[in-house]
Amino acid sequence: MPDRFLTSRTALVTGSTSGIGLAIACGLGAAGARVAISGLGTPEQIDTALNAVRNAGAVEVRHFDADLREPERIEAMMAAIADWSPLDVLVNNAGIQHAAPIAEMPAQKWNDILAINLSSAFHTMRLAMPVMAARGYGRVINIASVHGLVASVNKAPYVASKFGIVGLSKVAALEYAACGDRTSGGVTVNCVCPGWVETALIEPQIDARRAGLGIAATRDDGVRALLGEKQPSLRMSLPEDIASLVLWLCRREAHNVTGASFPIDGAWTAQ
């Protein structure tokens, strides 16, 4: 029997029509939350995501659309969600990436990555957190990255955005640390910093590494070759692994866990 500890709570997960975000939305739904999802996709993909969260156990689930590059669109989305139900849990997961050396990075890519990966989180947080403070309970979990803790070449805007969201989260944690109490659960802000996560987007890279190893190589050989450069565990996390940590951070007993960044990176950042 799942622990429905989020019954009567409402959560928003951005970037939740697939991958890590969808796993988090499903986990929150299984814990009893009413879930707002937001993200790109065809009508069929969005319906599939809604059904997945509903089938996981969400009391109610709706899709709210917004271009996260535009503050006005974010404000409209947050107002629509507030009319539906005040937010208790905010998971900023939406993100994009483009790899190129700094000198070759298109300026528009820099602007878009910073807008979606960092500025959109600022806007959702500034609109959601005062209501959380008034209610004495709130959870903001920002899905950063191992690249919010260490850098890699050819990823300047992505790394800048993820370092930025770690810093933003620390400031918000300080500002809201005294809100609520142990009984209400308080208001906390934390980052989860995944390394390699097994999603459909990674499969082409695995296939390429496997092909380079020869005809006898297995998919696991391809995974180990891909991760060997960075992640000592040589195994990926699953989206559900990330969701499990997000869920724990939502629990009342996590009231004093705030301003932290949690790497799930197979010892990448321990090196």
Question: Per-residue DSSP letters for 128-169?
Answer: HHHHHHHHTEEEEEEE--GGGTS--TTBHHHHHHHHHHHHHH
Q: How many other C-beta atoms are found inside a 10 Å radius of the C-beta of residue 200?
A: 8
From 19, 27, 37, 158, active-site residue: 158
Is 158 designated active site?
yes
**Number of residues that this document lists for the chain:** 271
Which one, of 172, 183, 96, 94, lies nearest residue 139 by Cα?
172
For 179, which DSSP code? S
Which one, of 18, 10, 123, lies nearest residue 77 by Cα?
123
Question: Which residues are tagged catalytic?
Answer: 158
